[in-house]
Structure 1
Amino acid sequence: MSAESHCDVAVIGAGFAGLRTALRLREAGLLVRVLEARDRVGGRSAAATLNGRTIDVGGQWVGVGHERLRALAESCDTSLVPQYTAGSKLLELGGRMRRYDGLIPPASVTALVEMQSALWRLRALQRRVPPDAPWDAHGADALDRLSVDAWQARWLRSRGARALFDIGVRAVFCGTPRQLSMLGFLHYLRANRDFDALLSTTDGAQAWTVDGGMHALAVRMGAALGDALQLDTPVRQIEQQADSVVVHTPRGALRASRVVVAMAPPAAGRIDYAVTLPAREQLAQRMPMGSVIKVLVAYAKPFWRANGLSGEFVGDAAAFSPVFDASPADASHGALIGFFDGPEAVHWSGDAQARRREVIATLVRAFGPEAAEPLDYAEKDWIADPWSRGCYTGLWTPGTLTEVGSALRAPCGRVHWAGTETATEWCGYIEGALASGDRVADELRHAMAS
C-alpha cells in the first residue's frame, strides 16, 4: 500500500468469512481491499504435508446441511470424500477399552438412560432459544448464569453418563462444561441441529472432507481477489471519521467508506479502535477461544481396518482424544487424525516431543503395536498460533451472552462484523463463516445504498 490508499470497503481478515465478504461485495461492483496479518489466507484453516500428501491441520470437515460450503467446493471443481466409518469404534471408559458398533456406546444401562434423557431435555430447551437473539429466550438470564457443568450435575448422576457427556463437550467446544454458559451451549446446539449431530460422522458435522484439502478452497478464493488481497499486513488501528474510516497498518493507511472486521471477537479485540467500544471490548475479554492441538500420523497402511476397526477412538481419561481415520481415499497409506483439546491442549502445548510420545502411546493402547511405527507426523498447536490463539471458536462464558451478546453483529458506526461466531446458523464451522460473509455483504450493500 502507498502512504494512504482508498477503497469502498476494507475487510480485515482473510479467513473464509473475510474472503466470502470481499468476493460478494466485489460482485456488487464495490472496490474492496482485504488485509490479512498472516502470510497466507484461510484463517483457522491451514495446510501441511504428511507423507507427501497435502492435509488440513485446521478446519477440515463438511457437515450435513453445510450447503454453502458444498457449493463452494463444487464451484472449485473439488469433490467431497465421505469420512471413513466402516468397522467398530473404540471407547476407553474407566480404564477399560471397549469395541462397539452403531451409535450407542458400551456404557451401563443407567448411564445410557441418563444420557438419552439429557439429550431429549437439551432438544426441548434449545427450541426455546431464538437463533438470531438467544438473549431474548424465555428464562435467558437464568440459563446464562448457569454453567453447563451445573446443569450436568443436576441431570446426569452416574459416573458413566457424566464421562460420556464430558467427552462430547470437550470434543465439540475444546473447553470444559464449567467454562460454558448453558444459554450459549443451547444457542450453539440450535445453530448446529443438536448435540448428536455435532458429534456424528455420517449424519452429522463430520460427514465429509474435501479432496485436496479444505484449505485449498480458501486459496482459490484468495486467488480470485488478485491484487485486492494484501498478506503480511496486520491492522493496528481503525479510526472512524465523519464520512470514512482509516485503517492503519505497518505498510501505510487505507481509507474506506466502511470496514468489515472478519475475525473472532478475542482477535478483533486486539485492534485499537481509537474510541471506546464497551460491549465489543467485553466480548473480547469474556469470550475466550477454545484450546486445541490437531495431530495427524501416517502409517504404511490403515492396519486398523484389517482388525475390523473404523479408526474412531474416544476416551474419558485420554489426553489425545477423539481420533478418526484420515487415510486417503485410495488407502495408499494409512493416517489417523486426533486432538488434544480443552485443558489437555493447554497442558501439552509447548512440549512437542512429549506431545508426540503421548500421541503414539495412546494410539498403541487403542490400535495395537503397529501404531508405534509411524511413517510421518504433522501437527498444529492452535494455542500457540499468534493470530488465532486457540480454536475452534470463541466460547460463551456464563453471563456474557445476555449482557453483551447483542453487540456481536451490531455495527459500530462504520465498522461491521463477520466471522463464524457471528453466524445465526452453523456458527463455529466454516459454513457459519461463509454465512456471516453473506450476511454482512448484504448489510453493507443496504447501508451504502441509503
Structure 2
Amino acid sequence: MGSEATVPPVDVAVVGAGLAGLTAARAVQRAGRSVVVVEARDEVGGRACSRELGGQMVDFGGEWIGRAHRRMHRLVRDLGLDVEPAANLGRPVRWRLPDRSTTGRLPPPRTWPGLARAIGRAAWQSRGIDPEAPWTARRAAELDNRSVAGWLDDLGLDTEARNLLERLIGSLACQALDAMSLLHLLWLLRIAGGPVRSMNATFQWRIRQGAQQVARRLAEPLAVVLNTPIERISQDGATAAIQATELSVRAGRVIVAVPVTQLPTISFDPPLPGDLQRLPDLHIGPGTKVIALLPQGHSVRHNTVLGGGTLWGGWRRGDRVSGFVPPAGADAHDDALVADLASAFDVRPDQLRSPTVMRWADERHIGGCDAVFAPGQVCALGPLLAQPHGLLEFAGAERSSWPDNMEGAVRSGERAARRTLAALKDSRLSTTPRS
C-alpha cells in the first residue's frame, strides 16, 4: 500500500492474529457480524509456531493439549485436525541430579519424602482456589505475597528433591522461582485438578499437523491483514478506529488480542485508565526452546529429561528431541544449548540433525512466552485482566483462567467475542449492512 488505506467499516476489528484473536473473530463472524483481523507479524498464530524440521512438523511455541483442555479439543475436531499421544507420561525419565543421573519411571527413592511433602502441601493449599478468580481465595493475599522459592525454603527439602522441584516448576513457568507468586503456582495446579493430575491435564497430546495449523485454518475464512502493526486505537463513544501507518479501520467494537507487554506500543485515545496501564508490569518469560533430530537408528530408553544445569527439561518423540531453557540460561550460546540437549539423550552434539534454537524473547511483537505473576501481582493485576475499556475488549492467554497455554488463549477469545456481541446487540449497533 502507498498512502493510508481505509478498509470499509466493520462491526468488529480484532488486533492480533494469535489463537485468542482468531477464535474471537471466528465467533463474531459466525454470529453474522462483519469482522477484520489486523496482525503485526507476517503470519498468523502468535506463539503457536510450527516449522518443518527434517521432514517433520515441529512446534517451537505452544505444543501440548491435555484432557482438561476441552475448548482446544473441540476446536481441533471442528477444524479437521488430529491429535496424537505425546508418549512421554508413564515412560522412563532421565533424572539429572547435581551429582549423578538415573533413569526410571520414578525419581530416586531418596527424593520421595521431600517430593511427597511438597506435593501434599501444594494439594492442600490449592484447595478452595477459584480458577476463574484466584484472588478471591481465603488467604489469597498471604499466598500471593510469597514466592515459590520462599515456599520451597520453608518446606525444608533435601538438596535433590529441591533441585528436581525447582527444575520442574521452573521449566513449566519459564521464570525464576523467586519471581513467581505462590498463588500463581497453586492457581495453575488447581485448574489442572491438583499436583498429581496436572501432567495428564496439560501434557497428554499434541496436534499432528502442528499447533500453528489451528491458527491457519481459523484464518482461512476471515479477512486478515498481515504486516500491519496497529499504532493507535481511538474511540468517540459511538465507534472506534484502529490505525496503522498504512491502514485505518472504523468499527463498532474492537478486540485487542496482543500480549500485555505489547500494549505500550499502541496509543489509546482516550488513554487506558491508570490501573490498566499497570498490566505491562506482568512478566513474560523469555521462552527459549531447542529442538533437533537424533541420529538415524539411535536408541534411547527415556522419553523425558528432568533436571540439569543448562536445560531444565527435555522430551522426545520418535527421533525428535526438544529442550526447554530456564530464564537463567536464556543468554547461553546456541552451541551450549545444543550440547546439553545432545548430552541429555546420549549423543554427541555433532550427531544431532538440524539443531534449531527458538528465542521467543527476540520475536518482534511478541517478546516472550508465558505470563508469570510475580509476588503480589495475582491480587493486584488479576482482576484487571478481563476489564474492558469503553468499546474495547481484551483477549490473550494471560487474561484467562489458563494463563500459560493455548486453552487459555481460546477461552479468552471466546469470552471477548461473547461480550462484544452482547454489547453490539444491546446498542443495536452495526456499522455494516446485515445479510
TM-score by length of structure 2 reads 0.92
Alignment coverage as a number of residue pairs: 421
Match of 1:264 in 2: 259
**Is 1:10 aligned with 2:10?**
no
Matching of residues 7-406 of structure 1 within 5 Å: 7-85=10-88, 87-101=91-105, 104-108=106-110, 111-198=111-198, 200=199, 203-225=200-222, 228-274=223-269, 275-285=271-281, 287-301=282-296, 303-305=298-300, 309-315=301-307, 317-327=308-318, 334-345=319-330, 347-348=331-332, 354-355=333-334, 357-369=335-347, 372-391=350-369, 393-406=370-383
C-alpha distance in 1, partners of 2:180/2:217? Answer: 36
Q: 1:364 to 1:375 in 2, by over 3 A?
A: closer
Query: Which of these residues, 392, 416, 419, is aligned with residue 440 of structure 1?
Result: 416
Give secondary structure in 2 for the equivalent of 1:310.
coil
Q: Kindly provide the CA deviation profile for residues 146-192 of structure 1, in whole angstroms up to 9, marking residues without a partner as x.
A: 11111111114321221121011111110021111122222222223
Instruction: Report if the CA contact (8 A) 2:21-2:37 is conserved.
Output: yes
Give secondary structure in 2 for the equivalent of 1:113.
helix
Following superposition, the deviation at residue 128 of structure 1 comes to: 2.5
C-alpha distance in 1, partners of 2:237/2:81? Answer: 45
Instruction: Report if the CA contact (8 A) 2:81-2:208 is conserved.
Output: yes
Give secondary structure in 1 for the equivalent of 2:221.
helix
Q: 1:89 to 1:401 in 2, by over 3 A?
A: closer
Instruction: Report if the CA contact (8 A) 1:14-1:42 is conserved.
Output: yes
Give secondary structure in 2 for the equivalent of 1:390.
coil
Q: 1:370 to 1:403 in 2, by over 3 A?
A: closer
Give secondary structure in 1 for the equivalent of 2:340.
helix
C-alpha distance in 2, partners of 1:314/1:302? Answer: 24
Instruction: Report if the CA contact (8 A) 2:231-2:266 is conserved.
Output: yes
Instruction: Report if the CA contact (8 A) 2:323-2:341 is conserved.
Output: no
Instruction: Report if the CA contact (8 A) 2:395-2:416 is conserved.
Output: yes
Give secondary structure in 2 for the equivalent of 1:397.
coil
Give secondary structure in 1 for the equivalent of 2:43.
coil
C-alpha distance in 1, partners of 2:117/2:419? Answer: 41
Following superposition, the deviation at residue 302 of structure 1 comes to: 5.6
Instruction: Report if the CA contact (8 A) 2:311-2:340 is conserved.
Output: yes
C-alpha distance in 1, partners of 2:389/2:162? Answer: 42
Give secondary structure in 2 for the equivalent of 1:224.
coil
Q: Kindly provide the CA deviation profile for residues 382-415 of structure 1, in whole angstroms up to 9, marking residues without a partner as x.
A: 0111111111x11111122222321100111111
C-alpha distance in 1, partners of 2:126/2:159? Answer: 25
Q: 1:255 to 1:282 in 2, by over 3 A?
A: same
Give secondary structure in 1 for the equivalent of 2:230.
coil
Following superposition, the deviation at residue 197 of structure 1 comes to: 4.0
Which is further off, 114-123 or 236-245? Answer: 114-123
Following superposition, the deviation at residue 370 of structure 1 comes to: 5.6
Instruction: Report if the CA contact (8 A) 1:61-1:208 is conserved.
Output: yes
Give secondary structure in 1 for the equivalent of 2:184.
helix
Letter of the 2:366 counterpart: S
Q: Kindly provide the CA deviation profile for residues 54-103 of structure 1, in whole angstroms up to 9, marking residues without a partner as x.
A: 321111111122122122222232221111237522111013011112xx
Following superposition, the deviation at residue 311 of structure 1 comes to: 2.8
Which is further off, 173-182 or 136-145? Answer: 136-145
Letter of the 2:310 counterpart: A
Q: CA RMSD in A?
A: 1.9
Letter of the 1:155 counterpart: L
C-alpha distance in 1, partners of 2:423/2:213? Answer: 32
Runs of 4+ that moved beyond 6 A? none
Q: 1:176 to 1:7 in 2, by over 3 A?
A: same
Q: Kindly provide the CA deviation profile for residues 13-36 of structure 1, in whole angstroms up to 9, marking residues without a partner as x.
A: 111111000000111111111111
- How high is the sequence identity, in percent, across the aligned residues? 27
